[in-house]
Amino acid sequence: MPGDEPAPDRRGAAAIAALRGRDWVLPPGLARPGRRSWLRIGTLDGGPRTLVDPRGLICPCSHAHGASLDWWIGAQDRWHAPAREAGVRQRRVGDAPVVETRLRIPGGDAVQRVWAIRAAPGDGADEHVIVEVANETRVPFALALVLRPLTPARVARSTDVHVTALPGGSGSARRLDHCSEPFLLLPRPPGRWAVGRGGDDVFAAVTEGRAEIGEPLEGWLGEPAGDGGLGEPAGDGAVGELGGPAGDARFAGGLSDGTGLLTLALIFPVPHGTTLRAVLPRGVWPPERAEDLSWPTVVPDHQVVASGWTAQAQRGARLDVPDPLLAEALAAARRSLLLAPQSGAALGRAGRGPVHAGDALHAGDGWGPPASPPEVAVLAGALARAGRADAAERSLLAVADRWYHGEEPGRDPTSVGATLVALGTHTALTGDGRVLEPVLDRAVAWLRRWDRAARRGRFPAGTSPARWARDAAVAVAAALAALGQPDGAAGVRALAARLPPVVESVPDLDAPGVALRAVGAAARRLLARGDPRALDLIALMLRGASPVWAWPSVLDRSTGSGADEGEGDDAVVGALFVDVVRDLLAVEVDGGIDLVPVLPAGWWGQGWELHEAPTTAGSLSYAVRWHGERPALLWDLEPAPWSPPDPVVLRVPGLDAGWSTTDRRGEVLLAPVPVPSPPAGEVETGAAAVGADARPGGPRPEDRARSEAPRSVWRPQPPGRTAP
């Protein structure tokens, strides 16, 4: 399978169970099994990513360590915690990694938006994650920004917080440090605060204070604790005031909790029609740099940031598909794919020092090790095939440079083969030999070693080493052809033919947990063979995504969400989805290119286009239009300067299996196409209905009230008006 399959995460199960038993407000991924989900946000070439869960919990640290920022709303009726409310809707803004979470309360919505920006010079950070909460009701409400000792995936450790004044802004900004590192920048001191310690959740302190006092905005927190709010908590927490000088002085002393479960709620009034904005600083390392932090000089609006992502997405290949659901998923996945490359900025974690240095591709949040060689092969390949090879260039150059200086990617065929696939694919599609030529001698030596091993029967067919070795030989052959070495390319192709063939397999869709990496890889293999079973797997990938188009590593079939292992937003699965849609329009096969290898039923009578898609033969563009039952094909294959001169066979097996051409450009009216039966993904199968009969994410109870999805060709329906 492409990429390393995630290992089950059993750590912290007892801690999670303990918090459930004490009635903590927990994110969905901790409250119930099989709900692991989040979305990565960040900036292009930024450092480790920030995670946003389906209810707006923000984790600026690793999903395995550190604290998170939650938000609660004190409305006219009661306090509302999005993690426990049914009336929560979440979406991307403009398909970008800009997240909007809406909480329904009496009178309208409380709206949280989260996005990342580059920090301006002099701000003291590399990036800022902007958090704003808008009051779209007709009455004021109270907003609690809550530091939580947990992440979307596990219980973390929170021992101390400290608040100091912050330069810039309105002059009353504050900086909250968590475990000796800057965590949150506030525009002004909170009006009230509440703390939970000793394993007690602060939510009880907030709600009990409101119940005792009355109206949410009329002294609802009650009297401060006898020692200024810093003594032992009464009941589930201590409550105090932070508005005046005395309050600031008491709070500046800091709060601590030896149990590691310190949780703090900072409460602000938000009048109707207004917005409160806070900032999570990123990339403040070393710790001494925190003294240079100030309120951000410039904060672009979330719509401006989303427009910037749209401009980035318009670079490279353009895929126009007739299915609105598929188009929306593709647009979001392509934007998230650009978050895989991360820069060499060294970001610290309390007491741990820099997490990584150097440009690298990452499959997750970026706090752990860089992507493994199989993951790099998928991520870099998807970027190159999407026309954004530039995004992965620095990461691949770093891989080649380390290998050139003696740091091999591994000693096994899987690691070395996957690395050669990444370097060879990039070279073949761009003609840029800088990533492969420095290690070409080593690559050839490995290929010869595998050839000898195969002759001796040491490469059993169907194993991961055999598959990666064969894929590496194919990629290196294509790269040599692009580098103007046809004889070398022919020799490596002959070597590839001697390696064991790839054994096709389809994942068990009846399994309780389905590895979506395996699903995406199988869909690509089936499309290359023109096998309509690929539509089953595409439909499953659509159903396996969250409402904001984030794919978990493993899909829990019982919940329709992420299983309790792996990533909640797996960049490798998202990259495979981008590749799958690209392959549905055009896939390179031995000796040519197949356009529309399989025709989805709902595409009959519809038009679609592909523009400037990189291939080893050049830049491919084509469009399909219909004249009654006959599709018309217009194509243009523009050779690149590095493209081999060999003729390229174009076929359209999904529309007219008998047609082919070696012409680089032209137009043709194909044979009549009978109305196809519904795709396999739209009917009941042994794996249950996997068609897109609802929005992605499966039949979650909290999603049942969601409005019907837009018209999609992945569900049974009559042809559209444009159909003959």
Choose the final residue of a domain: 305, 331, 356: 305
Q: Is residue 581 part of a domain?
A: no
Residues 58 and 165 in one domain: yes
List Cα–Cα distances, 314 to 45, 156, 426, 609, 706, in angstroms. Answer: 18, 39, 20, 15, 30
Q: Are strands 649-652 and 592-595 parallel, antiparallel or unpaired?
A: parallel
Q: Are 84 and 90 in contact (CB under 8 A)?
A: no
Looking at the fold, whether 492 and 631 belong to one and the same domain comes out as no
Residues 126 and 269 in one domain: yes
Residue 632 lies in a domain: yes
pLDDT averaged over 10-residue windows placed end to end, the chain, 724 residues: 44 83 94 94 89 96 75 96 97 98 98 96 90 98 95 88 82 86 91 87 82 27 30 38 36 71 93 97 77 90 97 96 97 96 51 48 79 94 96 92 89 93 97 94 94 87 88 96 95 93 82 95 96 95 97 94 92 97 97 95 95 97 97 97 93 97 97 76 35 41 36 46 38
Answer yes or no: is 689 within a domain: no
Q: Is residue 220 domain-resident?
A: yes
Quick one: 79 and 176 in the same domain? yes
Instruction: Count the residues in the chain.
Output: 724
Residue that is last in its domain, among 478, 503, 528: 503
Rounded to a whole number of angstroms, the distance between the first and last alpha carbons of the chain is: 41
For residues 211 and 75, membership in a common domain is answered with yes
Cis peptide before 710 (omega within 30 of 0): no
- How far apart CA 312 and CA 317 sit, in angstroms, is 11
Report CA Rg, the chain.
Answer: 27
Residue 557 domain flag: no
The reported pLDDT for the residue numbered 717 is 40
Q: Measured between alpha carbons, how far is 18 from 153 in angstroms, rounded to an integer?
A: 15
Taking each helix axis from N to C end, the angle separating 324-337 and 373-385, rounded to the nearest 10 degrees, works out to: 120
Domain of residue 405: give its range.
388-503
From 446, 472, 503, the end of a domain falls on 503
Number of domains into which the chain is organized: 3
Residue (of 618, 399, 378) closest to 520 by Cα position: 378
Contact (CB, 8 A) for 536 and 496: no
Report if residue 267 sits inside a domain: yes
The dihedral sign for the CA sequence 313, 317, 320, 325: negative
Query: Quick one: 453 and 596 in the same domain?
Result: no
What per-residue confidence (pLDDT) applies to 656?
97
Q: Kindly provide the b/e burial profile for residues 451-467, where b requires at least 16 CB atoms within 10 angstroms of the residue's own CB.
A: bebbeeeebeeeeebbb
600 and 485 housed in the same domain: no
Q: How many angstroms separate the CA atoms of 361 and 346, rounded?
A: 15
pTM for the whole structure: 0.87
Domain identity same for 63 and 154: yes
691 within a domain of the structure (yes/no): no
